[in-house]
Chains A and B, each alone.
Chain A
Amino acid sequence: MVSAFVPAAAEHVVAAAAMRAFATNVMHAAGCTRDDATLVADVLVEADLRGVFSHGVTRLTPYVGEIAGGTVDPGAEVRTVRVGPSIAIFDARKSPGPRSAKLGMEKAIELAQQGGTAFACVRDGTHFGPAAHWALLAAGAGCIGIATSNGGGRSGVLAYGSRKPALTNGPIAWAIPAKRHAPIVADMAVGVWAFGKVRVSAAAGQQLPDGVGVDADGQPTRDPNALVYLHPFAGPKGAGLGIVIETLCGILARAVPAASRGPGDPMPVGQVFAAINIAAFRPPDEFLDEVERTIDAIHALRPAEGFERVLLPGEPEWLSRERALREGIRYPKGVLGPVALTAQRLGVTPVWPAAR
């Protein structure tokens, strides 16, 4: 819903399987085991299928760079710190993010079979791709899933009423399984816009609307080139959700919350995964049936002026995925160029035609 991206025209159309093989080869050439490379490729291509190109194969470039620069260690083993009846704690030791994320959510799902709800905390993690991917893993196992991560970079989102940032733009996602319909997914960062959208405005030479963000002095700006910090969405609500993310990931999962980070501090990433086992609370069929009927009821709502129909959160991405599985992934202009350069440097040949 939030990050659905409808490209005006595709520059390249690539089948998911071919892109998956390509991305696997790139990550393997960069130093990942074959298994890790396959997993990372799955996560990235799944994002592209869903039309969330900001989290798709475009991430190969920073991922390869992080391995080369030593901030991601492809050889690190994830250590299990502790497993309790409903809690698991992992130390990812800077291994590739999708590996520890998968381990974390799978453990939460397993523990939730007994405990109803289980939480897994991952310390010292790295970028895990879209949060929705991990929440959906739980939904696929009959659970309501929650996944969240704080950002590893500097803080970029303002606290409510502040001129300086206190939040990384980390994501949080919930996923709820359905039966005939797509699972319902709420996946959001707390910034009112994504930084990527600001960059698009800058490239197009457009002014920003009021309320997107501020410049380096904390003054409101409509100039996309001057904007450095974003406002949280919905003011105190988005900012409050940001504090929840920083606290869960930064304090409970033992990274450092953005507001407490000093300028020269390391910026570890913490992640939290929760699975709520539906079958513990009521017969899953009854639950799924109610979700289905709710989706039908939402679809039947009269659309507001300017809208053709009312969709569920996660549905635009699902529709994008269905189409891309049939017709190939339609990459917008500019997405694959840098990816090709990264691949060629590692001796991997792109599976789409070279730039003319």
Chain B
Amino acid sequence: MTTHFAYEATGPRLPADAMRAFGAQLLQTAGATADDAAWVAETLVDADLRGVHSHGIRLTEYYVRSIERGGLRTRYDIREIGSGPGYVAYDGDHAPGQVAARLAMRRAIAIAKVHGVGTTTVRNAGHFGAAAYWALMAAAEGCVGYCTSNMPSAIVLAYGSAEGATGNTPLAWAFPTRDTPRVVLDMACGVAAHGRVAVAGTGGQRLPDGVGADRDGRMTNDPSNVKFVYPAGGPKGYALSIVHDLLAGALSGGAPTLLKPEGGPDQLIRGSQFHLAIDVRWIVPLADFTAEMDAQVRAVNALPPAEGFTSVSMPGQLEEERKVDRLAHGIPYPPGLLAAIEPLAGRLGVAIPWQA
């Protein structure tokens, strides 16, 4: 079994619109174009709506810092560096990752419609937020979506190492449904997202065994001492992490995590992405596929829950249900998370919605 720890989101509920406007203003004040700022904020607040706060509005702090120290460009020229009938390779020119990812996944979907399968890669872009967002973009178009990315810091241990081997490589697969919530597996290959460890830290929680290791590669329960996280399921998570690090980094030309020139004089962020869409209609009629997906979702939901569980969910189902609830009633945030952004908002002179 793996180790889980949850954080409670107990604060007052804030409307998604207000949080989107807040995030966009932070990014725009830092120098992003109005369009890009709005788009990045949309993807971050989507993660908050889904309860994935590690990839939500809290990331604005990191994005703004990246823009300010020149790691992320707000004016850029994303270029095609190679293409063929079923694929395109992009250079992201250090643009925000979400801007590159939107372009790349949309292109993969468009190719899949005429070709069956579309694949795109991106080198040299910023962090792309939650992988689920891009895979779900394909699912919304009747495609199977699959994506992964890599980033510069090696924070996940290899199986049996005392130093990091990969980033906390995310991978996502999403599938269309008809009447049931869309199915999406979005997993980091580490036991926990580093952001989640940080969120636990802001809430003053201790970590269970087997989540994090300190700078010497020794296990620790103190979130503030965590330098590395363990791979999920030991050798399996490690294998998934290295394979997806190479799929994103080596295929795009953006380099695997261990080979990225981190901290070079230019400080530029060199994240890589891999996006794949399979148009279901090329294989089976979409109505058949979604009907069978619905049947699978219902069959899994009908399973008797284990002790300590109230229901059995499909991957992504709780997040989709949370999103419906939070769109209607606002987003509650874990304690400490919003307070951590306040200094940034103060410095940039952006009004704080929860203090209004």
Q: Do A and B form a real pair?
A: yes
- Asked if A252 contacts B304 (CB within 8 A), the reply is no
User: Which residues of B1-16 have CB atoms within 8 Å of chain A's CB atoms?
Assistant: 1-2, 4
- In the complex, identify which listed stretch (A41-49, A285-293, A335-343) lies at the interface while the others stay far away: A285-293
Chain A nearest Cβ from B54, distance in angstroms: 15
Given contact pairs A243-B315, A281-B89, A314-B239, a sample of 8 additional A-B residue pairs in the complex whose CB atoms are under 8 Å apart:
A1-B239, A86-B115, A114-B85, A162-B309, A239-B315, A297-B259, A301-B161, A305-B218
Q: How far is the CA of A314 from the CA of B126 in the complex (A)?
A: 31
Nearest opposing residue in chain B for A211, CB measure: B1
Contact check, B303 vs A163: say whether CB atoms are below 8 A apart.
yes
CB atoms of A282 and B251 under 8 A apart: yes
* Stretch in B37-45, B62-70, B99-107, B275-283 touching the partner: B275-283
Closest-by-CB residue of B relative to A114 is B85
Q: Which residues of A contact B235 (CB under 8 A)?
A: 1-2, 313
Give the residues in chain A near B163, CB-CB below 8 Å.
301-302
Write out the residue numbers on chain B whose beta carbons fall within 8 Å of the beta carbon of A234.
2, 191, 232-233, 236-237
A-B pairs with beta carbons under 8 Å apart, 14 shown: A86-B115, A87-B283, A118-B117, A161-B312, A176-B250, A192-B1, A234-B236, A244-B185, A244-B315, A251-B175, A251-B292, A280-B86, A298-B161, A304-B217
Measured CB to CB, the residues of B under 8 A from A are 1-2, 4, 82, 84-87, 89, 115-119, 121, 144, 157-163, 165, 173, 175, 183, 185, 187, 191, 217-218, 232-233, 235-240, 242-243, 245-247, 249-253, 255-256, 258-259, 276, 278, 280, 282-284, 289, 292-293, 295-296, 299-300, 303-306, 308-309, 311-315
Closest 9 CB pairs of A and B: A116-B87, A115-B86, A211-B1, A186-B239, A313-B239, A307-B160, A240-B185, A234-B233, A161-B309
Describe B's contact surface by its main secondary structure: mixed
- How many A residues have CB within 8 A of the partner chain? 84
Q: What is the bound-complex CA distance between A257 and B175, given in angstroms?
A: 14
Contact of A233 with B2 in the complex, beta carbons under 8 Å: yes
Task: Collect the chain A residues with CB atoms within 8 Å of residue B282's CB.
Answer: 84, 86-87
- Asked if B251 contacts A247 (CB within 8 A), the reply is no
Most buried by B among A114, A247, A252: A247
- Which A residues, 237 to 279, have Cβ-Cβ distances below 8 Å to chain B? 237-241, 243-244, 246-248, 250-254, 257, 259-260, 276, 278
